[in-house]
A and B are shown apart, each in its own frame.
Chain A
């Protein structure tokens, strides 16, 4: 079976977020980048399925040269090969169309990704890939099992969970519980250096959105402390000052 895992390259979760002085871009100076945590869960599940069902796991990224260390890390975790589409991922539709063309041409059976990338929090790319490929999508999935050509998944919905089944090929986006990420071992890290990382140029031009300005939230005002002897004052303040109860 052919598994494709979409990997986005994002700032480490503990990064202090700052923007350039003109407010036009994210300030990457000194920022550590990682595999998007949800994509790592997706990758792990793909590797587990490969172990039981056989096949290959390919990772794909739309990004500049700077994402390659992140892709090497995914190869060290166990992916077989990588594809990098050499372009800045500034628009979700553009990223999705690039990936969809390759996923369709190369007849991947399952296209994995994360529920959202933790930088722009779009939760867009995976659904878009599915529509471009005209195949089912199950997003924010917490479980995936495959038997023959049918997959059964559990996904989150508002106020519960849903168990669904779809036929291959399909697109899935991972939410926590999907798999427990693996730590690469020495052998993985060594072999990652020699695995194939193919670079291809983009073929699409549709880019309907762009982030034109950034801002950090205004600094929080001091926390107002209430005496533990009089917790009822908190309820009064929430009522009269914050006006939320």
Chain B
């Protein structure tokens, strides 16, 4: 028996959330005296696959056929179901990324397994099996009990730490017989939003709103983000006015993120904006209006003019980094 983890790759490299999922699976396996097997679908080098061993996976099953180069939820589901059977896995760990959301529910239906999506901690008990997740867009938590024989957990990105747990790893190429009919989604084009940090995976996000007055003033926002190694985001009106690309818009109608640090600059803190960011670990608000609602949920705040403050912050970050 082992715990299975779906280790996603991007351009042949493990994604950051994959290491979170591996760490989660390893910690779960430790309490149950199990081992962790990672499933990798699509191209990845031997050296990259070996890295799974550094995060606690003792086996890697690699479906490397050229058919798997482009993402297809039905076919990927079938591969994972095959691996779950061959490994006699009772627990399967995903990361709640876009691909995780495409595959985990299908696998749950195929295996008649209960799925906890967006889990934020390890199970609080194994009998009964109970895992905590967020609900109501971060305005609540719920403990979900899973009664099926096979249990699937999709871990919320950034919710679980990454830890090095070096074990010896064997890499096995697999060639599951997947019916042609399951390759039913054709990927025509992949449009990457530049080589920058992926917003949904970023640990630090610098976000700005209408208080920045115009797109020409985003230079200082980007400089602060660069200094911090952060991704950039924005409020809805900023994207609607075309000051920033739409993929940066966070909130109820945009994307939901939960970085370790969210810095909101010149954003009022409307409830629809907060819906997308309220589960960030630490929130900083910078706003010229001391009554701005953002200060109600922020951990740190500065009341003042962003145009004065932001360049000083960038300077302070650079100094801090150069002194370490």
Contacts and interface: CB of A to CB of B under 8 A. Distances in A.
Identify the interface centre among B133, B191, B201: most chain A CB within 10 Å of its CB.
Answer: B191
Interface residues of B, number: 95
A138 B188 CA distance: 13
A79 interface: no
B316 A217 contact: no
A158 B74 contact: no
Binding site of A, secondary structure by majority: helix, strand, loop or mixed?
mixed
A123 B192 CA distance: 23
Given A137-B102, A140-B98, A121 B118 contact: yes
A232 B313 CA distance: 6
A210 B144 contact: yes
Contacts, number: 271
Contact of A244 (B261, B295, B298): B261
Interface of A: 11, 13-14, 17, 19, 26, 37, 91-93, 96-97, 115, 118-132, 134-140, 152, 155-167, 176-177, 206, 208-217, 220-221, 223-228, 231-232, 234-239, 242, 244-245
11 contacts: A26-B136, A96-B109, A120-B135, A121-B135, A131-B107, A157-B190, A159-B193, A166-B185, A206-B112, A221-B299, A228-B309
Contact of A136 (B74, B133, B297): B74
Interface of B: 10, 15, 71, 73-74, 77, 96-99, 101-110, 112-118, 130, 133-148, 184-193, 198, 200-201, 203-204, 228, 246-247, 252-255, 260-261, 271-272, 275, 281-282, 284-285, 295-305, 308-309, 312-313, 315-317, 319-320
Contacts of A221: 299
Nearest to A130: B106
Contacts of A134: 74
A214 B320 contact: no
